[in-house]
Amino acid sequence: MDILSFVDSLSFIWETGLPFLVALTILVFVHELGHYAVARWAGVRVEVFSIGFGTELKGWDDSRGTRWKFCAIPLGGYVKMFGESETVAEEDEDGEETERPMTEPEKAVSFHHKTLMQRAAIVVAGPLVNFVFAILLFAGLFSIAGVPQLDTSQPLQAVVGSVSSGSPADIAKLQRGDKILKMGAVDIASFGDLQAIVRKSPGVRMAVRIERGGQIISVFVIPSRREVRQAGGTVAIQGLLGITAQPGKVLYVRKNPLTAIGLGFERTYAMTVRILEYLRDIIAGAQSADDLGGIIRIAQISGQVAELGLASYISFLAVLSVNLGLINLFPIPLLDGGHLAFYAIEAIRGKPLGMKAQEYGFRFGLIFVVALFLFVTWNDLVHLKFFEIIKNLFT
pLDDT exceeds cutoff 80 at 245: yes
Nearest to 16 by CA among 295, 293, 292: 295
386 falls in which pLDDT band (50, 70, 90)? low
- The rounded distance, in Å, linking the Cα atoms of 201 and 203 is 6
pLDDT exceeds cutoff 70 at 150: no
- The rounded distance, in Å, linking the Cα atoms of 137 and 81 is 29
Higher pLDDT among residues 1 and 143, named by residue: 143
What strands, in cross-sheet order, belong to the sheet with 186-187?
Answer: 186-187, 179-183, 206-212, 215-221
pLDDT exceeds cutoff 80 at 96: no
Q: What is the pLDDT of residue 37?
A: 96
Report the share of the chain in percent with pLDDT over 70. 86
Could you read off the pLDDT of 51-60 as tens digits, one per residue?
A: 999 999 999 9
pLDDT exceeds cutoff 60 at 233: yes
Could you read off the pLDDT of 271-327 as tens digits, one per residue?
A: 999 989 888 888 887 777 777 777 777 777 777 777 778 888 899 899 999 999 999
Q: What is the pLDDT of residue 280?
A: 86
Higher pLDDT among residues 35 and 251, named by residue: 35
Q: What is the pLDDT of residue 9?
A: 45
86 Cβ neighbours under 8 A, 6+ residues apart: 101, 102, 112
pLDDT exceeds cutoff 90 at 133: yes
Could you read off the pLDDT of 159-190 as tens digits, one per residue?
A: 898 898 889 999 999 998 899 999 988 899 88
pLDDT exceeds cutoff 80 at 339: yes
7 falls in which pLDDT band (50, 70, 90)? very low
Higher pLDDT among residues 259 and 87, named by residue: 259
Q: Which of 81-95, 124-138, 236-250 has the highest mean pLDDT?
A: 124-138
Over residues 320-338, mean pLDDT: 92
Could you read off the pLDDT of 31-41 as tens digits, one per residue?
A: 999 999 999 99
Q: What is the pLDDT of residue 35?
A: 96
3-state secondary structure the chain: CCHHHHHHHHHHHHHHHHHHHHHHHHHHHHHHHHHHHHHHHCCCCEEEEEEEEEEEEEEEECCCCCEEEEEEEEEEEEEEECCCCCEEEEECCCCCEEEEECCHHHHHCCCCCCCHHHHHHHHHHHHHHHHHHHHHHHHHHHHHCCEEEECCCCCCCCEEEEECCCCHHHHCCCCCCCEEEEECCEECCCHHHHHHHHHCCCCCCEEEEEEECCEEEEEEECCEEEEEECCCCCEEEEEECCEEECCCCEEEECCCHHHHHHHHHHHHHHHHHHHHHHHHHHHHCCCCHHHCCCHHHHHHHHHHHHHHCHHHHHHHHHHHHHHHHHHHCCCCCCCHHHHHHHHHHHHHHCCCCCHHHHHHHHHHHHHHHHHHHHHHHHHHHHHCCHHHHHHHHCC
Q: Where are the domains of the chain?
A: 3-42+114-146+255-393, 160-248
Q: Cα 37–42–48 angle (5° rounding)?
A: 50
Q: What is the CA radius of gyration of the chain?
A: 29
Share the mean pLDDT of the chain: 84
CATH number of 160-248: 2.30.42.10
Q: Between 355-383 and 386-393, two packed helices, what is the crossing angle to 10 degrees?
A: 60
Beta carbons of 28 and 127 less than 8 angstroms apart: no
pLDDT exceeds cutoff 50 at 370: yes
Beta carbons of 69 and 56 less than 8 angstroms apart: yes
Over residues 101-126, mean pLDDT: 91
Q: What is the pLDDT of residue 395?
A: 58
pLDDT exceeds cutoff 80 at 141: yes
Please count the CA atoms within 13 angstroms of the CA of 312 that sit on its side-chain side: 10
355 falls in which pLDDT band (50, 70, 90)? confident
Candidate from 108-117, 151-160, 220-229, 386-395 with smallest mean pLDDT: 386-395
pLDDT exceeds cutoff 70 at 225: yes
| Catalytically annotated residues | 32
362 falls in which pLDDT band (50, 70, 90)? confident
139 falls in which pLDDT band (50, 70, 90)? very high
